[in-house]
Amino acid sequence: MLTPDDHRRIEAAVADAEAGSSGRIFCVLAGEVSTYSEIPIAWGAAVALLVPPIVLAVSLEPLLTAITAGGWTAAQAAALNEELSIALTGYAALQVALFAVTALVVSIPAIRRLLTPAFLKRSRVRRAAFHHFAAAHAHASDAETGMLLFIALVDRRVEVLADAALHARAGESVWKAAAGAVQSGMREPDPTAGIVRAIGLCGEALKAHFPSDAARAPEPVVDV
């Protein structure tokens, strides 16, 4: 997570980016946007459904060989029924055990994050970003334009959203460049530097398309 000094650097970058513009930059720093509680259940179910059939196929091979060989007696048939009953009971018990153990292991945060599909992380981060963007717009005046830089630190994902007027003038490339700056910074020893670069890019777009000489107080960085 970021230190108080990192927060000060980001706030200073936001103040500098907003200076000379009528627009706002909302910077939201989130931890993990979701607990992804369905992931341990999904992995537990997958393992419980896939592994036992393989084990059962291997364990029943000797029985199938005995059946196809022919010449088996009634006593052998009774033994076969007993073996099948044991195998099916073991199958059910194995499924329950595999589900419980897998779900428990995947519930460990580090493992859960590793096994969470990228598309699900992307969807949850985007949804959280839209919620914050809508909340920011609800407090903005009609004369203001603005954009949101939403950074999910634990999920290591970023969303850059701009209102319609700003997006129409600035285009998509500047927001992709800002998101790329944050992603690049996450791979560096100083991730805050990437966030500061992204804020600077967004500030250039604001100043170019919505210039203003009015001095304004910087928007605070929000931790969620």
- Model confidence pLDDT, tens digit, residues 78-106: 565 666 677 677 778 888 999 999 999 99
Q: Model-level pTM?
A: 0.76
Per-residue pLDDT, averaged over 43-70, amounts to 71
**Greater model confidence, 75 or 201:** 201
List, for residues 172-199, the tens digit of each pLDDT value. Answer: 899 999 999 999 998 888 999 999 999 9
The pLDDT > 70 percentage for the chain reads 79
Burial class (CB in 10 A: 0-12, 13-18, 19+), 161: buried
The β-bridge partners of 147 are: 25, 162
Cβ-in-10-Å burial (0-12, 13-18, 19+) of 181 comes to buried
Q: In CATH, which of 3.10.310.50, 1.10.3720.10, 3.40.50.300, 3.40.1350.10 is domain 4-34+117-223? A: 3.10.310.50
pLDDT at 203: 92
Q: How far is it, in rounded angstroms, from Cα 29 to Cα 187? A: 17
